[in-house]
Structure 1
Amino acid sequence: MDLADRIFAIKSISDFNRACLEVFALQASRCAVYADYLSLLGVAPAAVQSITAIPFLPIEFFKNHRVYSAGPDAEVIFSSSGTTGSVQSKHYVADAAIYRQSFRTAFEQFYGQPRDRAVLALLPSYSEREGSSLIYMVDDLIRQSRHPQSGYFLYDHRALRDVLLELKAKDTPTLLIGVTYALLDFVEAYGVDFPGLTVMETGGMKGRRREMIREEVHQRLCKGFNVAQIHSEYGMTELLSQAYAARDGRFHCPPWMKIFIRDTNDPFSGLGTGKTGAVNVIDLANIHSCAFIATQDLGKTHDDGSFEVLGRFDQSDIRGCNLLIQ
């Protein structure tokens, strides 16, 4: 069983810890940017014997460096959305099959087989936003769906309303995934009473609508679709895994992904559960780039292993799924 297979077969904390140390040793020797970073920190890779001793690479490195630990060429390069003149993050992916295995396995773990539901997207299609890891995933889920109504509806809200009503009448399991402001735009124009619908927001309104706290957003969406809960997806260009929240903004990770919280005043000091700090992510699907990422998100973890995202650092770039559409 190769390393990728072992990662997606993780069943326990000990499995996770062993895989972390193996991936760390690999990337400390093969990822030039990460190796230089460790050297500047004075960290000898051979001395790292526990996952708590593994340094996290600041996510900003993906904007100005080639964070890559395989060769020679990447199969896919994912890029972040950004405002005019901003520097985009780039994620060099050596093997797109690993990304597909990651998001397919995680989606099935949380939501079941995509072929068993209609998948509707308030997002641009992949041909319009080539390079988006989110659209790559959604495009694959749509193609796996066996329902002919599955597809993109960003530019035709009336058609989306009609399809939702048709699917409701047939009692078809349905997922509607979209950027937050597009979902709000839709419910303000066409409210749809569909209590069985799974509505998943991917975040983001900067530059499109006034900022609202999550509770207000979810309250409006719940009312607009007549659903009890709004689901959320947590992912980013620099990661090859996603976490999902089925209620109350509490995200859960697949077994090969884990969240840690660092002190905002001391980036090398961790915080316990319930304390707000900056989000560090271990994403072992990032086998061929860097699996240990210090993000610009603020959040906290809980005793059940879930986590919340509470915001972003001041001065951090506007980025994310809300900028997919300009």
Structure 2
Amino acid sequence: MEVEVLRDAIFADGAAGFESLAMEVFLFQYQQNRIYRNYADAIGCKVSEVAGLSDIPFLPIRFFKTHTVAATSFEPDVFFESSGTTGAVNSRHLVKDAGLYVRSFTKAFELFYGSAQDYCILGLLPSYLERGHSSLVFMVDQLIRDSRHPRSGFYLHDFNALAQTLKALEKSGQKTLLIGVTYALIDFSEQFPMPLQHTTIMETGGMKGRRRELIRDEVHDLLKQRFEVPVIHSEYGMTELLSQAYSKGAGRFFTPPWMRVVLREEDDPLSVITGPERGVLNIADLANLYSCSFIATDDLGAVYPDGSFEVLGRRDNSDIRGCSLLAL
């Protein structure tokens, strides 16, 4: 399949053809991504024996810290870097076509939440805004512009202005999305608790060492109490991917049709396991066409029969990473 045709097929409605599309993407990336091909060869992958997703090798995410992971040779439209602790080596993701990323996160947002134009979108992402080259900031910035609401925008440290904006939006009955890094949402809720009837609160993870580490349930219970909302939503994404999963409560994430999560054994990187058992998350993101669509993360989790998944923590000795700094 020609790569341009493949791009369109990835975002076609439904997931019935996911396995065949995954095979097409695997073959393209094996041929065009030198790092991925070398890794697959090194672990003894025989392309002729790859028949489906369970046979496809998943590239350890740490390669993004040490190598340029790219399919085909290109000058990137944009590059993204992960956040991390001081002195840590950050991941870098070169994006050949920023439009492909926009298409992925826009379509996924519409699938889960509807059109951005239905919302006033407020971003509380101070640490990401300050460091630059954040895929999360890129996404939220585009959604803010797509919303076309005059009050949509980012907030750094002016909690008073954010509180006044939320109060005005609530008074008018405006449907609002407040998306924020976890520590900033907690800080804001502590200083400005208020009932929010028309606002969806979405946390992206990240305590960043600013506060005592809290498990996700504690964070959500705290925010639900202070904002008097029934649920807290969550976004799961990372620098190395071009797609996101969303949770509308209870910590269960759902993926768009072109993204799938499977488990591997913690002590066997080549194994794939099924069922709601504890394992390490492997993520297939077909939108990540010009990089690597098959990423072996360091996140511990569980995958359920309906395709949803939970994030349960981090592997021992794995790097602390930006969107996963929340202790789960």
TM-score (normalised: structure 2): 0.95
Partner in structure 1 of residue 83 of structure 2: 81
Question: How far 1:270 sits from its partner (Å)?
Answer: 1.7
Partner in structure 2 of residue 256 of structure 1: 258
Between stretches 69-78 and 168-177, larger displacement belongs to 69-78
Query: Per-residue displacement from partner, 1:204-259 (whole Å, max 9, x unpaired)?
Result: 11411111111110000001111000000000000000000001010000000000
Query: Per-residue displacement from partner, 1:66-90 (whole Å, max 9, x unpaired)?
Result: 0000222221111111222211101
The 3 A distance-change label for structure 1 pair 85 and 55 is same
Paired residues in the alignment total 322
Query: Does residue 7 of the first structure (1) align with residue 29 of the second (2)?
Result: no
User: Which amino acid is the alignment partner of residue 22 of structure 1?
Assistant: E
User: Which amino acid is the alignment partner of residue 241 of structure 1?
Assistant: S
CA contact (8 A) 2:116 2:147 kept: yes
Match of 1:124 among 119, 123, 126: 126
Task: Return the alpha-carbon distance in structure 1 between the equivalents of residues 15 and 297 of structure 2.
Answer: 25
Find the residue that maps to 2:100 and give its secondary structure.
helix
Question: How far 1:268 sits from its partner (Å)?
Answer: 1.5
In structure 2, the gaps of 5 or more residues are none
Within 5 Å, give how 1:183-202 maps onto structure 2.
Answer: 183-202=185-204
Query: Does residue 234 of the first structure (1) align with residue 236 of the second (2)?
Result: yes
Task: Return the alpha-carbon distance in structure 2 between the equivalents of residues 2 and 125 of structure 1.
Answer: 38
Between stretches 313-322 and 134-143, larger displacement belongs to 313-322
Find the residue that maps to 1:115 and give its secondary structure.
helix
CA contact (8 A) 1:99 1:285 kept: yes
Query: Per-residue displacement from partner, 1:96-153 (whole Å, max 9, x unpaired)?
Result: 1100000000000000111111000111398744310000000001111121111112
Task: Return the alpha-carbon distance in structure 2 between the equivalents of residues 314 and 153 of structure 1.
Answer: 34
In structure 1, the gaps of 5 or more residues are none
CA contact (8 A) 1:116 1:146 kept: no
Find the residue that maps to 2:249 and give its secondary structure.
coil
Between stretches 74-83 and 111-120, larger displacement belongs to 74-83
Task: Return the alpha-carbon distance in structure 2 between the equivalents of residues 161 and 29 of structure 1.
Answer: 52
CA contact (8 A) 2:126 2:184 kept: no
CA contact (8 A) 1:69 1:290 kept: yes
Percent identity over the alignment is: 53
Partner in structure 1 of residue 45 of structure 2: 43
Task: Return the alpha-carbon distance in structure 2 between the equivalents of residues 127 and 301 of structure 1.
Answer: 32
Partner in structure 1 of residue 102 of structure 2: 100
CA contact (8 A) 2:262 2:303 kept: yes
Match of 1:214 among 195, 216, 222: 216
Task: Return the alpha-carbon distance in structure 2 between the equivalents of residues 195 and 102 of structure 1.
Answer: 29
CA contact (8 A) 1:174 1:197 kept: yes
Match of 2:225 among 220, 223, 226: 223
Moved over 6 A (4+): none
Partner in structure 2 of residue 168 of structure 1: 170
Find the residue that maps to 1:200 and give its secondary structure.
strand
Find the residue that maps to 2:165 and give its secondary structure.
helix
CA contact (8 A) 1:181 1:322 kept: no
User: Which amino acid is the alignment partner of residue 98 of structure 2?
Assistant: A
Question: How far 1:284 sits from its partner (Å)?
Answer: 0.3
Match of 1:177 among 173, 176, 179: 179
Find the residue that maps to 1:251 and give its secondary structure.
coil
Question: How far 1:322 sits from its partner (Å)?
Answer: 7.6
Partner in structure 2 of residue 158 of structure 1: 160
Within 5 Å, give how 1:258-277 maps onto structure 2.
Answer: 258-277=260-279
CA contact (8 A) 1:195 1:228 kept: no
Question: How far 1:195 sits from its partner (Å)?
Answer: 2.3
TM-score (normalised: structure 1): 0.96
Task: Return the alpha-carbon distance in structure 2 between the equivalents of residues 290 and 153 of structure 1.
Answer: 33
Question: How far 1:310 sits from its partner (Å)?
Answer: 0.5
* Structural RMSD (CA): 1.5
Between stretches 128-137 and 279-288, larger displacement belongs to 128-137
Question: How far 1:10 sits from its partner (Å)?
Answer: 4.5
CA contact (8 A) 1:76 1:93 kept: yes
Task: Return the alpha-carbon distance in structure 2 between the equivalents of residues 27 and 81 of structure 1.
Answer: 26
Task: Return the alpha-carbon distance in structure 1 between the equivalents of residues 212 and 87 of structure 2.
Answer: 22
